[in-house]
Chains A and B, each alone.
Chain A
Amino acid sequence: MSLYVDRPSVIHRLDPLTKLCYIAAAVTVPFICPVKSVALLVAAVTYILLAAGRVVTKVLPLLGFVAPVLLSIFIIQGMFMPDNHALVFRIGPLYFYKEGLSYAALLSLRVIGILGAFSLLVLTTKPSDLIQALMEKGLPPEIGYVLNAVLQIIPQMANALQRITDAQRARGLETDGRLLDRIKAFFPLIGPVVMNAFVETKDRAMALEVRAFNSKTKRTFLHVRKKHPADVALRIMCLAAIILAVVWRLVG
């Protein structure tokens, strides 16, 4: 289970940590320099990189998720922001002001940019590669295990839920109808999934321990991650962007 899209691109070949550095820069810079032009610039760079990774169309559904919220921000800030003075237009009794719309535009550009930066990581990186990269940099192996295991357990549990739902419906469980009936139906559905998940934990813990899970030795990895020559340069550029933003803020 992941949003990863397998494509032959430079972005895919970059080290996951480089993409994390990019996220750090793309998130902090628009906040350090809270003006629309910077937010627009960062968003533009991000979407160019997404295009280079050949995944730009995969961001659209994610943007679709946030579109209603962004629209509501334009409406609410445009009409009700306390600083509103300059009327731009009105629709019947609804008055929209420049200050609020401008603020909404800044927020939207930031959100679109940040969403793009995270998408750049998750759409072009296998989760297992990201986790291994973090483990190599010192993430405790236990946490690395948990992250990997979650990615596998969710589809397993979704399957289990499907079986339980079918079985309970066959026994006549009310899953439509009045709210109270539907609330009552919650327990027979979640109960068995919870019990299954927990019953297995003790045995799984033992099975892990007999495979040296608690070993204090430094882990090695079956897979070797390839380094890309551009990685170091890109990380320096991300750092430089953040420093530049701080300087801009202090001077300006």
Chain B
Amino acid sequence: MSIIKAEALRYKYPMQDELALDHLSFSIDKGEFIGIIGENGAGKSTLCQALNGLVPHFHKGAYGGTVTVAGKTVHETSVGELSTIVGMVFENPVVQITGAKLTVYEEIAFGLENLGLPRSTIIERVDEAIELLNLAEVRDKSPFALSGGQMQRVAIAGMIAMRPEIMIFDEPTSQLDPQGATEVFEAIETLSRNGVTVLVVSHQMERLARHADRIMLMHGGRLVAFDTPERLFAMDFSGISVRRPVYTEIVRTVQKAGGISAETVPVTLEGAAEWLVKHRG
């Protein structure tokens, strides 16, 4: 069953001439893990923000077409109302710390206080989010005293506590060290296993390819391809630089040398190893 549906979605930022989103139509099923890839300026972040209402409500500009998430039409629903359906984690960990709270625990409760939930519910949900994101050790620390990876997990916890059905991650690890990136990807996997529909913008192709059910490739505001990693990374794109997982690149190099063309390619270490063993000689 589709939980996100876009029809002819188009969008232009204020004072810009070209479309940031150019007639996008797609649908995503409940529980899917979606990767979003593309060059800088391809429209990945804009697409993310078109799913939770920041486009058009926050940015204004010019908007056309429709997006529905869990039955709500985005351009007719406020960002606040959508926040209980679509959670969003941004690239920069520091700006997601509200700055109004003294401890991690209070920081995670911020959105729930804004929703006016009863105190007992707030405590229950914050405790649960802390448990899920493994933040018990730092719960009484100042959010500003944390590492980037910890801050990013606090940001995720703050969103998760609002119980969204969909979680969007816009380059959540690009400002983190490898340790922080691993922490965050593990958290995303946990959410996905718990049935949350997950969309992740990332340049970490190996990780995306391993977990994503499908991957969106964007270019110039358009959706170029939307398919399983195995099929998408097997395609050739002219004029668009697509970095594939290194394992896929190895297999494709071998395929090209051998004159083999295939509709699908392995995208993981195990898959590539298996393929190479099978095609020995």
A residues with a Cβ closer than 8 A to B are: 128, 141, 144-145, 148-149, 152-153, 156, 200, 203-224
> Which residues of A lie under 8 Å from residue B112 when comparing CB positions?
220, 222
User: Which residues in chain B, 138-156, are within 8 Å of chain A measured between CB atoms?
Assistant: 144, 155
Quick one: CB contact mask for B56-88 with A, threshold 8 Å, 1 for yes? 001000000000000000000011100110011
State whether A128 and B102 are in contact (beta carbons under 8 Å apart), knowing that A206-B90, A210-B83, A222-B119 are contacts in the complex: yes
Extra pairs beyond A207-B90, A212-B111 (13, CB < 8 Å): A156-B144, A206-B54, A207-B98, A209-B58, A209-B79, A209-B80, A210-B79, A211-B83, A212-B84, A212-B162, A213-B80, A219-B116, A223-B106
Whether B80 contacts A212 by the Cβ 8 Å rule is: yes
How far, in Å, is B52 (CB) from chain A's closest CB? 6
State whether A220 and B119 are in contact (beta carbons under 8 Å apart), knowing that A203-B95, A213-B114 are contacts in the complex: yes
B residues with a Cβ closer than 8 A to A are: 49, 52, 54, 58, 78-80, 83-84, 87-88, 90, 92, 94-96, 98-102, 105-106, 109-119, 122-123, 126, 144, 155, 158-159, 162
Q: Number of contacts between A and B (CB, 8 Å)?
A: 101
- Rounded to whole angstroms, the CA-CA distance of A203 and B96 in the bound complex is 8
> Which residues of A lie under 8 Å from residue B80 when comparing CB positions?
209, 212-216
- Rounded to whole angstroms, the CA-CA distance of A185 and B4 in the bound complex is 54
Whether B116 contacts A148 by the Cβ 8 Å rule is: no
- Rounded to whole angstroms, the CA-CA distance of A220 and B123 in the bound complex is 12
Whether A215 contacts B116 by the Cβ 8 Å rule is: yes
> Which residues of B lie under 8 Å from residue A220 when comparing CB positions?
112-113, 116-119, 122
> Which residues of B lie under 8 Å from residue A206 when comparing CB positions?
49, 54, 58, 90
> Which residues of B lie under 8 Å from residue A218 when comparing CB positions?
116
> Which residues of A lie under 8 Å from residue B95 when comparing CB positions?
200, 203-204, 207
Name the one of B54, B113, B119 contacting A209, with C-beta atoms under 8 angstroms. Answer: B54
How far, in Å, is B94 (CB) from chain A's closest CB? 7
- Rounded to whole angstroms, the CA-CA distance of A156 and B142 in the bound complex is 12
Whether B119 contacts A211 by the Cβ 8 Å rule is: no
- Rounded to whole angstroms, the CA-CA distance of A68 and B52 in the bound complex is 57
Whether A224 contacts B119 by the Cβ 8 Å rule is: yes
**Quick one: closest A residue to B143, CB to CB?**
A152
- Rounded to whole angstroms, the CA-CA distance of A148 and B98 in the bound complex is 10
> Which residues of B lie under 8 Å from residue A221 when comparing CB positions?
113, 119
> Which residues of A lie under 8 Å from residue B118 when comparing CB positions?
220
How far, in Å, is A125 (CB) from chain B's closest CB? 15
**Quick one: closest B residue to A200, CB to CB?**
B95
How far, in Å, is A211 (CB) from chain B's closest CB? 4
